[in-house]
Chains A and B, each alone.
Chain A
Amino acid sequence: MIAILVPDLGDGITKVEVASWHKREGEAVVKDDDLVELVTDKASFNIPAPVSGILRKIHYPAGGEAVVGSLLGEIA
């Protein structure tokens, strides 16, 4: 399993909103393709897939809030 974590966006940003997942659980993902969109006050931040594989688990669905370092999902 490869973990998809909320990255440190720098300078004290601690919490982000999960705006949308570009893939559903069970779908294939390609390395570097945008996988999940996080939103802070002024930025929409797309997290790319760290590896190619299958998106096995989404831990924070759209609309949820996650803190930096949280496990957003897993690819296998």
Chain B
Amino acid sequence: MNFFDLGTIDHQAAFLRQKALVVDVANGSPDALILCEHPKTLTFGRKFHEANLFVPEAELAGRGFLLVRADRGGDVTLHAPGQLVLYPIIDLKRACCGLKGYLRKLEQVAVDLLDDFGIVAKGDDGNRGVWIGQKKIASIGIGVSRWVTYHGMGLNISTDLSLFRVIRPCGLDVAMTSLCEELKRPVLMDEVKQKVIGHFKRVFG
């Protein structure tokens, strides 16, 4: 398994990196995981409904949001600094898990990370993502090409949660939360990344 920490990177640049890795993995390279953060970006999945955007697109651009149509499932979601974005590039044929099994494993990585910090979280087969009680801490939307996954999961570590007010995240009326919000203290992103890599190796290894 290869790990790529791209730091803070534009959504489109990270997308191109993913697509290149998808070709490599489909041709037999080891599975990979990209870790990164994005500047303030709203992405619209294949199940996007206009009603889930509370502010007109033109105004959002004026407020500094980048707007992206993404070829993933799901509705609208927000990326911003302080959110750890995971893009697993996994060959589903080699991994021998169905789509739902893959999504569950992805959620499990976040559940295990949060457990390290003493937080009880869970995935949800009905409403995908990772939840702490009724609050959502991670959102999921994926793409698959040549049986290889791309796109992935956004996990809020120290994200400015007020940014979510411009959307109905994933089309759900839910409160978003973050690791720092739950702990009421700062957390180092590098520490989180190291833990995530460990859990990812174990869950997908």
A70 proximity list for chain B (CB < 8 A): none
A42 proximity list for chain B (CB < 8 A): 73-74, 103, 128, 140-142
Instruction: Report the Cα distance A12→B26, complex, angstroms.
Output: 25
- Taking a contact as CB atoms under 8 Å apart, the answer to whether A43 and B146 are in contact is no
* CB of A53 within 8 Å of the partner chain: no
Residue of B nearest to A43 (CB): B73
Given contacts A34-B145, A43-B73, 12 further A-B contacts (CB under 8 A): A9-B99, A10-B97, A10-B100, A39-B47, A39-B73, A40-B73, A41-B74, A42-B128, A43-B99, A44-B73, A44-B143, A44-B151
* CB of A37 within 8 Å of the partner chain: yes
- Give the one of A11, A12, A40, A44 with max B CB within 10 A: A44
Per the CB 8 Å criterion, the residue count for chain A at the interface is 19
B46 proximity list for chain A (CB < 8 A): 19, 39, 44
- Taking a contact as CB atoms under 8 Å apart, the answer to whether A32 and B100 are in contact is no
B28 proximity list for chain A (CB < 8 A): none
Knowing A10-B97, A10-B98, A41-B128, the reply to whether A46 touches B73 (Cβ < 8 A) is: no
Enumerate B145-160 residues with CB–CB distance to A below 8 Å: 145-147, 151
* CB of A13 within 8 Å of the partner chain: yes
A61 proximity list for chain B (CB < 8 A): none
* CB of B197 within 8 Å of the partner chain: no
Instruction: Report the Cα distance A40→B103, complex, angstroms.
Output: 12
In the complex, how many angstroms separate the beta carbon of B26 from the nearest chain A beta carbon?
7
